Structure formats: C-alpha cells, structure tokens
C-alpha cells in the first residue's frame, strides 16, 4: 500500500512538471523565448541566402567551365583554319607547277618552280613557328635524334657524331614535333 502511495505521488509530480512545461512563460522568460525565435528565424534566412549564393556560384562556375572548353575548341579550329588559309597559295602554286610540267618539255623551269614553291611553303610554316633541326655533323643525342643505323665513321673525329640525316626533324615553337632520323658514325 505504501508503495502505491509513493508511486501515486511520483506520478502526480510528473504530471505537474508536464503542466508547468506546457504553460507559456511570462515576463523575462517570454521575452527570451521570442528573442531566441527571432534569432532562429534570422539564422534560417541567412542559411537560405547562403545556400542560394552557393548554388548560384556553383552554376556560374559550371557555366565558366563549359564556356572555357568551347572557347578552347573554337580557338583550335581557328588556328587550323588560319594555317590552312596560309597554305592555300602554296597549293595553288603546286597546281600551276603540275600544269606547267605537263605542258613543257624542259625540266629547268619546272625545277625552278618547284624550288620556289618549296621555299614559299617552308617560309609559311616558319612564320607559324616551324623550325628545321640541323643534325648532320653534330654529336648524337638519343633525346633529340632517332638513330636508323650505325656505319663506320669516315674519320676518327666523326665517331659518335651524325654522318647523315635521312629525315629532317622539326620543332614547333621550340618543341620537337618530329625527331630527325639519322645515321651515326661508330
């Protein structure tokens, strides 16, 4: 019986605590609650603004990446177009040289014409940054040269040096785009 009364008292105290918690605060406590609610609302607004800024910035960056890729592709296409446009006069010269070779029996004017066309082509490519690599007579370097074969050196000082260049190597803006194929003396 005594335990029942104790339990009843504990239950009654819990009910009173629940009722006390449910009652709205008055005075200083109510002001504090409204102040906290206001701060919470402000922070929620700040958070929403920050999320919005983040999403806009992310979208802007994504658009920037897409625009950069498109600009790079357009630039590459434009560079190729510029080079081809510069080579069209050389192509025209080759067509005229071919026609001349078919019409004339003399080879001297033809060889002069081909030489002129070659020089024009090389100068056009040189203006774009192409440079022929001089190899013959220089020390063989496997980083810059591709050895096709080795032959006995004609003189002692030509050992380890390039005797002949089979295929000319080229650099484009100081970067090797084709290694020269060479014959090395041993």
Mean pLDDT (whole number) for 164-176: 91
Q: What local confidence, expressed as pLDDT, does residue 40 receive?
A: 95
Residue 67 lies in a domain: yes
Same-domain status, 79 and 103:
yes
Same-domain status, 118 and 138:
no
Q: What local confidence, expressed as pLDDT, does residue 20 receive?
A: 47
Domain boundary pick from 128, 145, 167? 128
Same-domain status, 105 and 159:
no
Q: What local confidence, expressed as pLDDT, does residue 77 receive?
A: 79
Q: What local confidence, expressed as pLDDT, does residue 28 receive?
A: 60
Each residue's pLDDT tens digit, 2-60: 556 666 656 666 665 554 444 555 556 667 888 999 999 999 999 999 999 999 999 99
Name 127's Cβ contacts closer than 8 Å, sequence gap at least 6: 86
Residue 180 belongs to domain with CATH number: 2.30.22.10
Same-domain status, 177 and 164:
yes
Q: Which of 136, 118, 139 is nearest to 180 (CA)?
A: 136
Domain boundary pick from 82, 107, 128? 128
Same-domain status, 105 and 73:
yes
Same-domain status, 91 and 71:
yes
For residue 164, give the H/E element and its range.
strand 162-167
Residue 48: how many other CB atoms lie within 10 Å: 10
Domain that holds residue 161: 130-186
Q: What local confidence, expressed as pLDDT, does residue 80 receive?
A: 77
Domain boundary pick from 80, 98, 128? 128
Burial 136-157 (b: 16+ CB within 10 A, else e): eeeebeeebbeeeeeeeeeeee
Q: Any idea which residue has 């920050």 for tokens?
A: 50
Q: What local confidence, expressed as pLDDT, does residue 89 receive?
A: 84
CA distances to 8, 54, 142, 155, 168 from 152, in Å: 116, 71, 19, 9, 22
Residue 3 lies in a domain: no
Residue 90: how many other CB atoms lie within 10 Å: 18
Same-domain status, 147 and 174:
yes
- Token couple for 33: 């609650």
Same-domain status, 134 and 155:
yes
Q: What local confidence, expressed as pLDDT, does residue 74 receive?
A: 86
Q: What local confidence, expressed as pLDDT, does residue 116 receive?
A: 87
Each residue's pLDDT tens digit, 52-108: 999 999 999 999 999 999 999 988 877 777 887 888 888 888 888 777 777 766 667
Dihedral over alpha carbons 104, 110, 113, 118 (to 10 degrees) = 140
Cα–Cα distance between 23 and 16 in angstroms, integer? 11
């Amino acid at each position: 019986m005594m335990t029942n009364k104790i339990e009843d008292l504990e239950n009654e105290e819990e009910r009173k605590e629940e009722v006390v918690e449910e009652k709205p605060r008055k005075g200083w406590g109510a002001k504090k609650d409204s102040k906290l609610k206001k701060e919470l609302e402000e922070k929620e607004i700040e958070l929403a603004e920050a999320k919005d800024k983040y999403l806009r910035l992310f979208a802007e960056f994504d658009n920037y990446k897409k625009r950069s890729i498109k600009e790079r592709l357009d630039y590459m296409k434009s560079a190729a177009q510029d080079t081809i446009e510069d080579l069209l006069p050389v192509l025209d010269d080759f067509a005229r040289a071919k026609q001349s070779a078919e019409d004339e029996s003399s080879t001297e004017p033809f060889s002069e014409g081909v030489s002129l066309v070659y020089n024009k082509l090389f100068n056009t490519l040189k203006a774009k940054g192409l440079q022929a690599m001089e190899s013959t007579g220089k020390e063989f370097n496997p980083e810059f040269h591709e050895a096709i074969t080795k032959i006995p050196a004609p003189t002692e000082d030509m050992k380890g040096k390039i005797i002949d260049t089979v295929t000319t190597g080229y650099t484009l803006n100081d970067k090797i785009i084709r290694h020269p194929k060479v014959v090395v003396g041993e």
